[in-house]
Amino acid sequence: MVSVPGASMRESFAAAATELFIGHDRVAIVLAEISAQYFERAVAHDRSRAVNVGIAEAAMVGVAAGFAMEGFHPIAHSLGPFMAERPFEQLKLDFGYQGLGGTFVGSGASYDYASEGATHHAAGDVGAMLTIPRMQVLSPGHGTEVESLLRATFDNAAPTYVRTSLATNDEPHDVAPGRLEVLRRGSGATVVTFGPTLSRTVAASEGSDVTIAYATSVAPFDDEGLRALVGDRPHVIAVEPWYEGTTAPVLTRALGDLPTRYSFIGVPRRFVHEYGTWPEIDADVGLDVAGIRSRIAALSLTEHPSP
């Protein structure tokens, strides 16, 4: 493991990807200018497998597909909107349709770069990736988890989107693709919190008799784990760092035959016109501790309405 305490998710990813690149001669790294400074050691090691195509995201995915067709495992990286949305057609056709495997890492979601406007926002990235058959979608909540998930899915022959952000949880957890971790059990609703929303959700739930489960894996998702956890408590609240309701098809597939009520706390489905830091935008859209606490409290009250 190469995780450095205090490192950002992007730094942790770059360090782990570089170690994989140096340790495995069938790994390729493809960039579109973003974060090139983090991969200088990889380029110095073997520039034939570490390619920077410039500001040309569709070409980045196309080059990655070429590596994959030649038996390499490509790792491509850019900011969220430039990794998941701008080259979406190439991801769908070059990797999804052709059945190729590769790792695609997006940084800065949903609005880490809020001051740059909608071109740099990516609250819809996970929703877009979930429409591509076979695409795995991972949302680590800490730099150490980025490395764990990257290594766990490395060279698994599936296209895998890894979503990173400046927002992180207070501490890492032992995470794995397709596994739900239970942090607290209560008699009320089951709260499923994704990626970097965990710490704030735990803080927001103080005093609420809810169950809290942590997910870093959207696809594959721990269907059986959620079914066992929900039991006869038919209310699931998802706290998600992307457009609210994005995980609706994931949760309903897991619990489809159960009479379940679903609620979603996430980024409102509107354009964010506010400017500021990501914590300021979180507060504006209700994804800070106070906003989540208010929403959970209101939803919990409706479970047992007054006669």
pLDDT band at residue 6 using 50, 70 and 90 as cut-offs: low
Tell me if 250 sits within 8 A of 236, measured CB to CB.
Answer: no
Q: What is the average per-residue pLDDT within 125-145?
A: 97
Q: Are strands 217-219 and 136-138 parallel, antiparallel or unpaired?
A: antiparallel
What pLDDT shows up at residue 306? Answer: 40
pLDDT tens column, 202-235: 999 998 999 999 999 999 999 999 999 998 778 9
Full set of structural domains in the chain with CATH: 9-163 (3.40.50.970), 180-301 (3.40.50.920)
CA 289 to CA 199: how far, in whole Å? 9
What's the confidence (pLDDT) of residue 301? 59
Confidence at 307, pLDDT banded by 50, 70, 90: very low
Q: pTM (2 decimals)?
A: 0.94
Residues 111/278, Cβ–Cβ less than 8 Å: yes
Closest CA to 213 of 184, 174, 252: 184
Residue predicted with more confidence, 116 or 99: 99
Q: What b/e string do you get for 193-232 counting C-beta neighbours within 10 Å, with b at 16 or more? A: bbbbbbbbbbebbeebebbbbbbbbbbebbbebbeebbee
Tens of pLDDT along 31-44?
Answer: 999 999 999 999 99
